Each structure stands twice: as structure tokens, then as C-alpha cells.
Amino acid sequence: MRELKLIDRSQPQTLVIASILLYLNALFTLFEMLFVGLSPLELLTMVVLPIVGAYGIANSRRIGYYLAIAAAAIPLLTYLYFGILGGIGTILSSGVIIIIFAIVPFALLLHPMSREYQRVWFH
């Protein structure tokens, strides 16, 4: 019987760190939801999608990898959209750390080491 994991430390460090950051992003979004409130669509895309993607990566599922890329791309596209509408000040007003937490998982998932590993080992 196969053991299901939340994080697989035998994977490349790019995938492990990306998984951890996706879990953290979902956790921070849950905290934000307690104070601000989120619509069901936001809850699905900002909380459930990163958790399912990171869990899929940890269990070597190709669909999990693609869901994780989508989950990491959504905040980037949101920042890009608001950056185009309101300028760079709009993006920076949310905080540099938040922007880093949006960029880093996406970059780690698209890193050549991550892409090659998922191409060879994920099913």
C-alpha cells in the first residue's frame, strides 16, 4: 500500500520548497478570510487549489503539478492586472513580502529541475 504524504523530501528542493510555500499561502489566505471574508470562488482558487496542488506534487501526481502551477499563477495574474490598472504603486502597496510569496512558488515550479523531475517521475 502506498503512503500518502504532505511533503516528499526525496523530491528536488525546488518542488519541496514550492509545496511548502503553497501550503503557507493557503494558510495565510485562510487567516485573511477570517478578517476580511472571501467569496466561494476566491476560497476555491486561493485556498483549495494550492493545497490540492501541493498535495498532488508530494504524491507525484502530474495533475497536482499542473494545479500547483495554476494556483501559483493566479496571484501573479491578479497583481499584474492591478499593476496595469493602477501602476506599480498599487502592487507595492500590498507589501514586498506578499509579492515575493506570489512570485517564488511560480518560479520554483517552472524551474528546469522541477519540470524535468515531474516529466520523468510523476504519473
Q: Is residue 1 part of a domain?
A: no
Q: Is residue 7 part of a domain?
A: no
Cβ neighbours for 76, distance < 8 A, ≥ 6 positions apart = 102, 103, 106
Q: What is the pLDDT of residue 54?
A: 98
Going from the C-alpha of 24 to that of each of 7, 109, 120, the distances in angstroms are 13, 15, 27
Q: For the chain, how many structural domains are there in total?
A: 1
pLDDT digits (tens, 9 = 90+) for 1-32: 578 899 999 999 999 999 999 999 999 988 88
Domain that holds residue 40: 13-121
Q: What is the pLDDT of residue 77?
A: 92
Q: Is residue 91 part of a domain?
A: yes
What confidence tier does 98 reach under pLDDT thresholds 50, 70, 90? Answer: confident
What confidence tier does 57 reach under pLDDT thresholds 50, 70, 90? Answer: very high
Q: Is residue 37 part of a domain?
A: yes
